[in-house]
């Protein structure tokens, strides 16, 4: 994904000209959420060893929220952008005390969904903002989702319909797509489910003077 270093704000933009905002992510969903709110960002991938960070957090007895925040901060810290506001985000899923990672392949995705079927789970959606390497804000949203007791025939049809697209999603579903059919009930901010707690982030950016109030 391009870093879009030559972005130009519109004259009537809600965003001030400086500092620029960088999203430390390749996530199309997170970028789309910000841009739909009128926030122009450049996107730069942050390649960190997520598995190693999670192992270290477990070894230190950290909970899911702390681990998600640690991952988000590591991604933001990976980006070197002088003067810029750098946003790092990460999302983890917990169900009955178990942490779920992105499925490695389609059989793994099927196994995850069978374990989540008929259960409530929490998405721990963390966002950390850095400037000049210093953390200036952090937040965790915790939307809760109840997966319905669907049939295995439905599950197999769903997996064929979605294909490899769900392998990049924690939980093996896209709520903005056919994954919505998996659920009976949802509580929490929709944007946080998609990967970024946008309302809280916008409130911070207004307070920091990056967007107009």
pLDDT digits (tens, 9 = 90+) for 39-93: 999 999 999 999 999 999 999 999 999 999 999 999 999 999 999 999 999 999 9
65 tagged catalytic: no
Give the separation between CA 25 and CA 72, rounded to whole angstroms: 10
Structural domain contains residue 135: yes
Structural domain contains residue 126: yes
Residue percentage of the chain with pLDDT more than 70: 95
pLDDT at 104 over 70: yes
Structural domain contains residue 8: no
pLDDT tens digits for 178-198?
999 999 999 999 999 999 999
Catalytic residue among 90, 153, 156, 191: 90
Long-range (24+ apart) CB contacts under 8 A made by 15-19 are 15/39, 15/40, 15/210, 15/211, 15/212, 16/209, 16/210, 16/211, 16/212, 18/83, 19/83, 19/84, 19/85, 19/131, 19/210
Structural domain contains residue 114: yes
Residue 17, pLDDT score: 86
State the residue range of the domain holding 199.
Answer: 21-207
- Looking at the 3D structure of the chain, how many domains does it have? 1
Nearest to 42 by CA among 15, 6, 12: 6
Residue range 155-177: mean pLDDT, rounded: 94
What backbone torsions phi and psi does residue 115 show, to the nearest 5 degrees?
-75, -30
Residue 71's domain is classified under what CATH number?
Answer: 3.90.950.10
Structural domain contains residue 6: no
pLDDT at 139 over 80: yes
Pairing of strands 85-95, 120-131: antiparallel
Structural domain contains residue 155: yes
């Amino acid at each position: 994904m391009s870093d879009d270093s030559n972005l130009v704000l519109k004259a009537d933009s809600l965003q001030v000209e400086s500092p620029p905002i960088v999203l430390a992510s390749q996530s199309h969903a997170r970028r789309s959420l910000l841009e739909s709110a009128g926030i122009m960002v450049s996107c730069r991938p942050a390649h960190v060893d997520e598995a190693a960070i999670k192992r270290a957090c477990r070894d230190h007895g950290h909970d899911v929220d702390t681990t998600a925040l640690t991952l988000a901060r590591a991604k933001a810290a990976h980006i070197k952008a002088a003067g810029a506001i750098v946003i790092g985000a990460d999302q983890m899923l917990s169900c009955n005390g178990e942490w779920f990672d992105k499925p490695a392949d389609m059989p793994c995705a099927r196994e995850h969904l069978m374990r989540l079927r008929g259960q409530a789970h929490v998405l721990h959606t963390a966002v950390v903002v850095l400037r000049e390497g210093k953390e200036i804000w952090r937040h965790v949203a915790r939307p809760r989702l109840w997966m319905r007791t669907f049939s295995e025939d439905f599950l197999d049809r769903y997996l064929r319909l979605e294909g490899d697209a769900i392998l990049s999603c924690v939980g093996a579903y896209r709520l903005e797509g056919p994954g919505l059919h998996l659920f009976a009930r949802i509580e929490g901010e929709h944007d946080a489910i998609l990967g970024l707690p946008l309302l809280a982030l916008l409130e911070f950016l207004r307070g920091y003077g990056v967007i107009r109030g």
